[in-house]
Amino acid sequence: MSSDTLPRVHPEELEVYRRELTGYCYRMLGSGFEAEDAVQDTMLRAWRSADRFEGRASVRSWLYRIATNVCMDMLRGRKRRARPMDLGPSSPPDEEHLGSVLPEHLWVTPIPDARVLPEDGDPAEIAVARDTVRLAFITALQHLPARQRAVLILCEVLRWPAAEAAGLLGTSVAAVNSALQRARATLAALPDTARPRAVAADQAPLLARYVSAFERYDMSSLVALLHEDAVQSMPPFAMWIQGARNITAWMVEPGPIECRGSRLLPVKANGSPGFGQYRIDPAGGYKPWALQVIEISGDRIAGLNFFLDTESLFPAFGLPDHLPA
């Protein structure tokens, strides 16, 4: 085929895949910011090599091949991202256990639903997509070697046939099936805290009660909303707390009691409900304090994840940098 008869790839053809590619890269990398960087790199590489695209595969498959290579390069030689629950046992609700701030590259970080989930489509497919960006699932994926991670995402999350995944990865169907089997075994062996839980369909009443209890700082109401074995984490600190009573005890310790009087603005993160938390600003109004991602199991809250990097996360979630009084 001569160069003047090669299929032309236009920028708008690439752009329609940005959201699903971001979801793929996020599952691979465990960081919303890194996922967006990876997709941007993928788009640039694709555009620069568009004149060499011969149409032997679909544009979508071609982009996924480039994105996979970008992610593999980014993962080479680095430690896996984690959540505090992966790094050690829970701590008593005492501020002396808080420890030091740890670097961002250690943590699985959240991502807005709007960056990774389809805008419309089959409700069942959207529900599956939501389940596969939850924090617990993203964290579980990080336990897999990069190639197994790619195979599992392609075959089990995106439902690619093994032959198509093999073609993308430049390997055999047998090798893909073997990698998939090993990946499943690894995930099955993870502790329960590393696995996603079933989520109730209607979360609105529970969330309304949570907002009311938190903004009033009513610990007796809040403890009634938590599973007995609920956990709270606070990246970038490694400390985490388990147990409804311990969590509410922590919230009224001398340091965290400064959260009394907070306001919450709703967001959607990782297929889960979340909130931008603003604490009272002595200078007036309210200032950012944490991005909360709420994990729900059945009719109660199973996890409170307070991400404290508001400087990066609040703009990413479209949250204001200050609230008026």
Mean of per-residue pLDDT scores for the chain: 91
The pLDDT tens digits of the residues spanning 178-224 come to 999 999 999 999 886 555 555 555 789 999 999 999 999 999 999 99
The answer to whether residues 138 and 27 touch, using CB atoms and an 8 Å cutoff, is yes
> What pLDDT, on a 0 to 100 scale, did the predictor assign at position 194?
58
Residue 104 has pLDDT above 90, yes or no: yes
The pLDDT tens digits of the residues spanning 267-301 come to 999 999 999 999 999 999 999 999 999 999 988 99
Residue in this structure with the two tokens 């610990």, named with its chain if needed: 219
> What pLDDT, on a 0 to 100 scale, did the predictor assign at position 283?
95
Please state, in angstroms and rounded to a whole number, the distance separating the CA atoms of residues 273 and 270: 8
Q: Give all domains of the chain, ordered by start, each with its CATH number.
A: 90-143+190-325 (3.10.450.50)
How large is the average pLDDT for residues 229-237?
Answer: 97
Res. 6 pLDDT band, cuts 50 70 90? very low
> What pLDDT, on a 0 to 100 scale, did the predictor assign at position 198?
56
Reported for 3-8, long-range contacts at CB under 8 A and 24+ positions apart, including other chains, are 3/51, 6/51, 6/52, 6/53, 6/54, 6/55, 7/53, 7/54, 7/55, 8/50
Q: What is the pTM of this model?
A: 0.92
DSSP per-residue string spanning 212-235: HHHHHT-HHHHHTTEEEEEEEE-T
> What pLDDT, on a 0 to 100 scale, did the predictor assign at position 14?
82
Res. 48 pLDDT band, cuts 50 70 90? confident
Res. 127 pLDDT band, cuts 50 70 90? confident
Pairing state of beta strands 226-233 and 300-307?
parallel
Res. 27 pLDDT band, cuts 50 70 90? very high
How large is the average pLDDT for residues 15-34?
Answer: 96
Residue 307 has pLDDT above 50, yes or no: yes
> What pLDDT, on a 0 to 100 scale, did the predictor assign at position 10?
65
Name 279's bridge partners. Answer: 287
> What pLDDT, on a 0 to 100 scale, did the predictor assign at position 125?
84
> What pLDDT, on a 0 to 100 scale, did the predictor assign at position 4?
41
Residue 3 has pLDDT above 50, yes or no: no
